[in-house]
Amino acid sequence: MRTVWPLAGFVLLAVVSCAAPSKSLYSWYGYENAVYQDVKKGTPESQEKLLGEYERIIARQEAIRRTVPPGMYAEYGFLLCRSGHREEGISYLKEEIRLYPESEKYISRIIKQLEEK
């Protein structure tokens, strides 16, 4: 009987800690669906819709935590460059590097290629 109580306490603690709601650091909102729809359709309209979705995600995340998820500025910036807004897109790519310095090596190569075009 002595060994049952410590084990029961451990199991109870494990269940309670797993059931506790965890607050995510970042919110992605409808990101997955928006990207899927753009890839699936591949039309200029779906790309414009995806740009709008990125803008909403960024605005909502900045309002809540003041930091967007890793890669969000990079994806948005690259999509802006693809849609003809090169200068604005490059500024978002540089913002990705500022927020996430570990991305500098990769993102700076993308920026260099975009600036050479």
Number of domains in the chain: 1
CATH code at position 62: 1.25.40
In a domain, 22, yes or no: no
Asked if residue 112 belongs to a domain, the reply is: yes
Position 11 confidence tier, pLDDT thresholds 50, 70, 90: very low
Instruction: Give domain status of residue 17, yes or no.
Output: no
| Cβ burial, residue 76 (10 Å; 0-12/13-18/19+) | buried
pLDDT of 29 over the 80 cut? no
More confident residue, 59 or 26: 59
Question: 49 is in which domain, residue-wise?
Answer: 29-116
Specify if 72 maps to a domain.
Answer: yes
Q: What digits encode the pLDDT tens for the residues 105-115?
A: 999 999 999 99
- Domain membership of residue 85 (yes or no) is yes
Mean pLDDT of 18-36: 70
The whole-number average pLDDT for the span 47-64 is: 89
**Residue 59 resides in a domain:** yes
- Tell me the per-residue pLDDT of 76-102, one tens digit each, with 9 for 90 and over: 999 999 999 999 999 999 999 999 999
The reply to whether 15 falls in a domain is no
Helices assigned H by DSSP within 65-117: 72-82, 86-99, 104-116
Q: What are phi and psi of 27, to 5 degrees?
A: -115, 130
User: Is 107 a domain residue?
Assistant: yes
Percent of the chain surpassing pLDDT 90 = 45
